[in-house]
Amino acid sequence: MTTRKTPTRRRFLSAAAGAGAAASLLPAPFVLAQTAKVKVGILLPYTGTYASLGHNITDAMIMAIEGAGGTLGGRPVEYVKVDSEADPAKAANNANKLIAGEKVDFLTGPVHSGVAMAMVKIAREEGTITIVSNAGADAVTRQMCAPNVFRTSFSNWQTCYPMGPEMVKRGHKKAVSITWNYAAGHEMIGAFKEGYVKAGGQVAKEILIPFPNIEFQAHLTEIASLKPDAVFTFFSGGGAVKFMKDYDAAGLKKSIPLFGAGFLTDGTLQAAGPAGEGIITTLHYAESLANPTNKRFTAAFKAKTGRPADVFAVQGYDTGQLLVHAMKAVKGDVKAKKEIMAAMRAAKLDSPRGTMTFSKSQNPIQDIYLREVKNGDNVVLGVAQKAVEDPGRGCGMT
Ligand code: BEZ
């Protein structure tokens, strides 16, 4: 926050907030400004294959703000939710609804990388401070990076690159990858391949399936005929549950071990049952992490929602934490955008995933964990790669 010698409107307002009865003596617009709600726009999927992800992000973000007193910088909060339906074709319209229509102070979401690219394009043009709370589209913190765009989740590259050397280390030198045919799928199997080939592995085939199709049978037959040493995959939400069950039912899990981006086994293990057992993944979180913040967080999320926490809830929680931190720094003055962005850039969040800071392109710098599903839990085997920073290629801010 800038320091000025003369009494500023902002200081006047914060003094007024503590002044109780004296507030009634203030000119009406000043009092209104301080009590006016901070509008937080949320563009997330509440229907379709990614619905559970949207709900966990939303509930945990609100939980973080409620945990800090339910206000942002002392001001009440209004949450404005729009169902993205994980549909890139509707993304520009939906983002405009929140930015131009609702005039939100902050924009958060989405889950789907294609939706993110359309949303961020508009947020950059309008200057709305935006926190991407899931979608990993690499471009968001590369070519499309901007001072008003932050990400509390991951880049697609970050979560999958470390799996390449890990699979080679385990003796799996020939792999097939399989995923949905859209930006997140392409970038995740691409990042895996980059690390895998560098370590001496060979990708025999990349199988792409239209999003959100879950008809896997013909592709599993093809995998069986290709006889790779292992399979690498990205699916999430309802599609991930179906993929794990079909892979197991086809009898492949015993002969061709299944690896993936950790989204495959996060928030899906209850529904997958025994089909999830033994799957090895990389991700920036595991529910079983033993740090005290994670213990408090998982218990609080379970108590609030009745559901187990997962990586999506963590990202929502950290989005809430970031809003609390930045709005505290400006004492609730949403107009102080430069100062809000500076506070966000400098934030060091005590996240359930471990300490989280931002790179110059405003993407998290974070450890990527190696996990294996054992007795229905993602058990941490170790850190696959420490303090992973997205290369941020093409971002002018780095
Ligand atoms: C994505 O589209 O970026 C994405 C969707 C679900 C989980 C992870 C990434």
Structure tokens at 374: 């054992």
User: Is the minimum distance from the CB of 55 to ligand 1 under 6 angstroms?
Assistant: no
Where helices occur in the chain by DSSP H, the ranges are 9-18, 28-35, 51-67, 91-96, 113-126, 156-160, 163-169, 183-198, 217-226, 237-249, 252-255, 269-272, 292-305, 311-329, 337-346
- 34-154+288-358 CATH fold: Rossmann fold (3.40.50)
Place of tokens 């399936």: 209
β-strand pairing of 149-151 with 230-234? unpaired
Bridge partners (DSSP) listed for residue 178: 207, 233
DSSP string of 78-100, one letter each residue: EEEEEE-TT-GGGHHHHHHIIII
CA of 140 to the centre of ligand 1 (A): 13
Averaged pLDDT score across all residues of the chain: 93
* Residue 197: Cβ within 10 Å count: 13
- Specify burial of residue 268 (Cβ count, 10 A radius: 0-12, 13-18, 19+): buried
Contact by Cβ (8 Å): 222, 207: yes
User: Is the minimum distance from the CB of 236 to ligand 1 under 6 angstroms?
Assistant: yes
Structure tokens at 381: 């085997």
Contact by Cβ (8 Å): 382, 162: no
Percent pLDDT > 70 in the chain is 91
pLDDT at position 33: 61
Contact by Cβ (8 Å): 150, 144: no
Which of residues 27 and 274 earns the better pLDDT score?
Answer: 274
The pLDDT of residue 257 is above 50: yes
Q: Taking residues 134-160, report their average pLDDT.
A: 98
User: Is the minimum distance from the CB of 211 to ligand 1 under 6 angstroms?
Assistant: no
The pLDDT of residue 129 is above 80: yes
* Residue 96: Cβ within 10 Å count: 15
Q: For 285-333, write each residue's pLDDT tens digit.
A: 999 999 999 999 999 999 999 999 999 999 999 999 999 999 999 999 9
Q: Taking residues 261-271, report their average pLDDT.
A: 98
Q: Taking residues 202-213, report their average pLDDT.
A: 98
Contact by Cβ (8 Å): 239, 49: yes
Find the distance separating the first CA and the last CA of the chain, reported in whole Å: 23
Global confidence as pTM: 0.92
Output the residue whose Cα is nearest ligand 1's atom 5. 112
Q: For 56-108, write each residue's pLDDT tens digit.
A: 999 999 999 999 999 999 999 999 999 999 999 999 999 999 999 999 999 99
Give 151's pLDDT tier (boundaries 50, 70, 90). very high
pLDDT at position 35: 79
Give 31's pLDDT tier (boundaries 50, 70, 90). low
CATH superfamily of 158-283: Response regulator (3.40.50.2300)
Of ligand 1's listed atoms, the one at least distance from the Cα of 50 is 6
User: Is the minimum distance from the CB of 369 to ligand 1 under 6 angstroms?
Assistant: no
- Asked if residue 110 has a cis previous peptide bond (ω within 30° of 0), the answer is yes
Q: Taking residues 342-357, report their average pLDDT.
A: 97
Task: State whether residue 112 is helix, strand or coil.
Answer: coil
CA of 136 to the centre of ligand 1 (A): 6
Task: State whether residue 179 is helix, strand or coil.
Answer: strand
- As annotated, the residues of the chain forming the CATH 3.40.50.2300 domain(s) are 34-154+288-358, 158-283
pLDDT at position 385: 97
CA of 25 to the centre of ligand 1 (A): 51
